[in-house]
A = this chain, B = another copy of it.
Amino acid sequence: MALDAVLSRIDTDLSAATDRLIELLRIPSISTDPAFKDKCQDAADWLVADLRSMGIEAEKRPTPGHPMVVGHVEGDGPHILFYGHYDVQPVDPLNLWDRDPFDPALEDTAAGKVIRGRGSSDDKGQLMTFVEACRAWKAVNGSLPCRITFFFEGEEESGSPSLVPFMKENAKELKADLALICDTGLFGEETPAIITMLRGLLGEELTITGPAKDLHSGMFGGIAMNPIRVLAKIIASLHDATGRVTVPGFYDGVPELSPEILDQWKNLGFDPAQFLGPVGLSDPAGEEAYTPLEMIWSRPTCEVNGIWGGYNGDGFKTVLPSKASAKISFRLVGQQDPLKIRENFRAYVKSMLPPDCEVEFKGHGASPAGQMETGDPAFEAARRALSDEWPRPAAYVGCGGSIPIAGYFKSILGMDAMLIGFGKDDDQIHSPNEKYDLNSFHKGIRSWARVLDAITKA
């Protein structure tokens, strides 16, 4: 069977694959620092050369910033686009690294072998899991299992300024049936995950004005409306006693999870105490009626990200301030309509204003949630393929934050994305001593071979 031969090839080639990754890791492609501009070119060149060495038509494509790398392989079956990024985070503070971040090496640790170095996990190591899977497949079968477009970015760690324009300009070339993205993690140690829900985000800033100027509380205290009190009351009213958001119509378009997904999540063995403990918390503080995983993955939220008004310096000032402000954000799920929620939120706040109060709003972004079409047989095929590789079955999971690239693939190229990754929570990405487990690398490569096989047959 072709797949078994590919997996064997991956096993025997692991040492060489590791050497290749280490070569790529040696290139300090820090995208945010102009001093490393040439190194980003070098990393792109390395990838072009590596793809070409496998007979893939690849080239470096200029942008106003760092170049993209785009490669194409023709083939039968579905057209897959694979995305990863070759740029890395800065390495400060350098003195906290146990080795030169750009002199990577395989290290033995108590928890097993790791590849240590900047970018080992985020994202060069992850990117190379897919490339190595393709290399093994090609070596065994002489060709790849389907049509594949490789798309590597060099600005992911510095805000991706060129990404959207490049995707728009090259939409026809990049459009595929499905995107695969390798920039996320396992769930825990042994459970692979496919992110199929990404929460959207609506940002609102509001300023309540009461008195026309700051007043002295000796003279006006007791008779003048205090905008901090008004703001506090509004914020306190945004959730009911069970933790539900009270903005009218807020839950329109919020789906309940299917029994299958609920079951998958139940089997993940998520321990909220273990999740919250490291940040000094113990109690899941969201909607009473939902499980902790739903709170962070599939339920919408309303949070206050900032509040200010009156005097906050040393000592005391008996001021009744003229204004009080807050920044409030909503994480959105399913089919929630950000603009409708903005409208409802503003009307709701206005309805709570006492006499003599005015409110001004400022919008800060409004992006809907991403919800992948898991009904597409490719998803279920990939999930089974991952389950075959790892000790525990794979799950469709949510992501509480936004991963912009997935949204762009949907909105610009009209394709769903499958976010599969092998990073671990302790990989220390963006921090000193970044590492990638050799196990993540090895089983990651094997995972992609299985997923490609499964998707092609699905």
* Chain A contact residues, CB within 8 Å of chain B: 199, 201, 203, 205, 210-213, 215-226, 228-229, 231-233, 235-239, 272, 275-276, 279-287, 292, 295-296, 299, 301, 303-312, 315-321, 324-327, 329, 331, 354-356, 364-365, 399-402
Task: Tell me if B309 and A221 are in contact (CB < 8 A).
Answer: no
Interchain residue pairs with CB less than 8 A apart (21): A201-B318, A213-B279, A213-B280, A217-B303, A221-B400, A222-B301, A223-B275, A223-B295, A228-B235, A228-B306, A229-B238, A229-B303, A231-B232, A231-B307, A232-B307, A276-B356, A280-B356, A305-B310, A306-B309, A306-B311, A311-B327
Main secondary structure on chain A at its contact with chain B? Answer: mixed
Q: How far is the CA of A365 from the CA of B218 in the complex (A)?
A: 15
Q: Which of B219, B223, B279 contacts A211 (CB 8 A)?
A: B279
Given A225-B285, A312-B327, 4 more pairs with CB closer than 8 A:
A211-B281, A221-B301, A223-B296, A304-B309
Task: Tell me if A306 and B279 are in contact (CB < 8 A).
Answer: no
User: Taking the full assembly, how many copies of this chain does it contain?
Assistant: 2
Closest Cβ neighbor of A213 among chain B residues = B279
Contacts A210-B281, A318-B201 given; does A400 touch B232 at CB 8 Å: no
Task: Tell me if A327 and B305 are in contact (CB < 8 A).
Answer: no
Q: How far is the CA of A140 from the CA of B305 in the complex (A)?
A: 73
Closest Cβ neighbor of A313 among chain B residues = B306
> Chain B residues with Cβ under 8 A from A355's Cβ?
282-283, 285
Task: Tell me if B279 and A223 are in contact (CB < 8 A).
Answer: no
Nearest 9 pairs of A and B residues by beta carbon: A218-B401, A212-B280, A306-B310, A232-B235, A236-B236, A222-B295, A316-B364, A283-B355, A228-B304
Q: How far is the CA of A321 from the CA of B220 in the complex (A)?
A: 32
Task: Tell me if B327 and A219 are in contact (CB < 8 A).
Answer: no
Task: Tell me if A279 and B331 are in contact (CB < 8 A).
Answer: no
Contacts A239-B229, A401-B219 given; does A305 touch B282 at CB 8 Å: no
Q: Which of B212, B217, B276 contacts A224 (CB 8 A)?
A: B276
Task: Tell me if B320 and A305 are in contact (CB < 8 A).
Answer: yes
> Chain B residues with Cβ under 8 A from A218's Cβ?
199, 331, 399-402
Contacts A279-B215, A286-B222, A355-B283 given; does A329 touch B318 at CB 8 Å: yes
Q: How far is the CA of A238 from the CA of B230 in the complex (A)?
A: 12
A215–chain B nearest beta-carbon distance, Å: 6
Task: Tell me if B306 and A312 are in contact (CB < 8 A).
Answer: yes
Task: Tell me if B239 and A331 are in contact (CB < 8 A).
Answer: no
A430–chain B nearest beta-carbon distance, Å: 12
> Chain B residues with Cβ under 8 A from A285's Cβ?
223-226, 354-356
Contacts A218-B199, A279-B212, A281-B356 given; does A223 touch B306 at CB 8 Å: no
A357–chain B nearest beta-carbon distance, Å: 9
Task: Tell me if A320 and B295 are in contact (CB < 8 A).
Answer: no
Q: How far is the CA of A276 from the CA of B213 in the complex (A)?
A: 12
Task: Tell me if B223 and A276 are in contact (CB < 8 A).
Answer: yes
> Chain B residues with Cβ under 8 A from A356's Cβ?
276, 280-283, 285
Task: Tell me if A281 and B400 are in contact (CB < 8 A).
Answer: no
Task: Tell me if B331 and A327 are in contact (CB < 8 A).
Answer: no
> Chain B residues with Cβ under 8 A from A220's Cβ?
279, 296, 400
A124–chain B nearest beta-carbon distance, Å: 23
> Chain B residues with Cβ under 8 A from A286's Cβ?
222-223
Q: How far is the CA of A292 from the CA of B221 in the complex (A)?
A: 11
> Chain B residues with Cβ under 8 A from A354's Cβ?
283, 285
Closest Cβ neighbor of A236 among chain B residues = B236
> Chain B residues with Cβ under 8 A from A402's Cβ?
218
> Chain B residues with Cβ under 8 A from A299's Cβ?
222
Q: How far is the CA of A253 from the CA of B303 in the complex (A)?
A: 40
Task: Tell me if A232 and B311 are in contact (CB < 8 A).
Answer: no
